[in-house]
Amino acid sequence: MDFDAIDAIDIHTHVEIDGCGHRSLDDELMAASEKYFRSGEERTPGIESIAEHYRQRNMAAVVFTVDAHSASGHSPNSVEEIAERAAEFNDVLIPFGSVDPLQGKAAVKRVHRLVDEFGVRGFKFHPSMQGFEPNDRRYYPVYEAITEAGVPALFHTGQTGIGAGLPGGHGIKLRYSDPMLLDDVAADFPDLTIVMAHPAVPWVDAQISIATHKANVYIDLSGWSPKYFPPQLVKAANSMLRHKVLFGSDFPVIQVDRWRKDFATLDMKPEVLPLIFKDNALTVLGVKH
């Protein structure tokens, strides 16, 4: 990919359907998520249409799914297929992998396989959806494998639209996505680049503290319209965290154009914008710039 030729990198986009038409969520969770986000556009675009969407905007996108098979009982869409298809559109798409931490040694082996054979550039985790506490040492071999591979790990943090409004939240536990659990991981794996996805409501102050304290931890701004960003996060992104905050939309649940339009209303310093929209992502991805 010619990173000099693109204007921005969306660090957080979902592929919710594979080539066989298999969705990443079951019908009940998909419906709840669509209601929560009030998704007004096509919710399940394929890889080719995602690539064209970002190519038209002269942007690159990190694409992924989430393997939550053990916790949900729902077979994920194909991580391997997403990586293979993304490679066909490598002028704009950057594939991340996903492994189910509850699968133990098999998850560790899959990390190596996804990096070595499929060229993934990072890994996505959703602790609430996958049903695990990130700082449980049972999952440390997975982080060791990702650290050895030299790629970042991106973790969902804070509130989630998955299961929102359903009885018991469909059994999904928000506490697994408390960013303080990742503080342990960041301390124990100083060579692992960690991205805390989304403004971590209701734990935004903790999230800011962790990103300030740990050199290997970043925040992506996906999952919320910028007009709803907590003011302390905007202030931090404009100052002490200007090198630690990343543009992300959460496409397709939040459309890129809507996110950027709302972000433009924030009082951001001009010199901070290229950092948020591209330069910080290049650092996370290990691209020299």
CA distance 89 to 62: 12
Tell me the per-residue pLDDT of 190-215, one tens digit each, with 9 for 90 and over.
999 999 999 999 999 999 999 999 99
Cα(168)–Cα(277) distance, rounded to whole angstroms? Answer: 37
pLDDT of residue 31: 59
How high is the pLDDT of residue 42? 60
The pLDDT value recorded for residue 263 is 98
Q: Which domains does the chain have, with CATH numbers?
A: 8-285 (3.20.20.140)
Are the CB atoms for 17 and 42 separated by under 8 Å? no
Residue 73 has a pLDDT of 86
pLDDT at residue 35, as a whole number? 57
**How high is the pLDDT of residue 202?**
97
Rounded to whole angstroms, the Cα distance separating 278 from 167 reads 40
How far apart are the C-alpha atoms of 244 and 288, rounded to whole Å?
Answer: 16
Q: What is the mean pLDDT of the chain?
A: 91
pLDDT score at 30: 53
**What's the average model confidence in pLDDT over 81-89?**
94
Segment 243-253 mean pLDDT: 96
| CB atoms near residue 148 (< 10 Å) | 13
Query: Rounded distance, CA 284 to CA 138, Å?
Result: 25
pLDDT in tens, 258-289: 999 999 999 999 999 999 999 999 999 999 87
Note the pLDDT of residue 34.
56
Confidence of residue 182 (pLDDT cuts 50, 70, 90): very high
d(CA 289, CA 283): 8
The pLDDT of residue 39 is 53
**Residue 76 pLDDT grade (very low, low, confident, very high; cuts 50, 70, 90):** confident
- pTM comes to 0.92
pLDDT computed for residue 45 by the predictor: 72
pLDDT in tens, 6-55: 999 999 999 976 444 545 555 565 555 555 455 555 655 789 999 999 99
Handedness of CA 188, 190, 192, 193 (dihedral sign): positive
Report how far residue 111's alpha carbon sits from residue 232's, in angstroms, rounded to the nearest whole number.
36
pLDDT of residue 20: 46
- What integer pLDDT is reported at residue 43 of this predicted model? 54
Q: 199 near 220, Cβ under 8 Å?
A: no
Residues present in the chain in total: 289
| CA angle centred on 249, ends 28 and 148, rounded to 5° | 95
Maximum Cα–Cα distance for the chain, whole Å? 48
pLDDT for the residue numbered 28: 60
Split at pLDDT 50, 70, 90, the class of 181 is very high
Average pLDDT over residues 124-134: 97
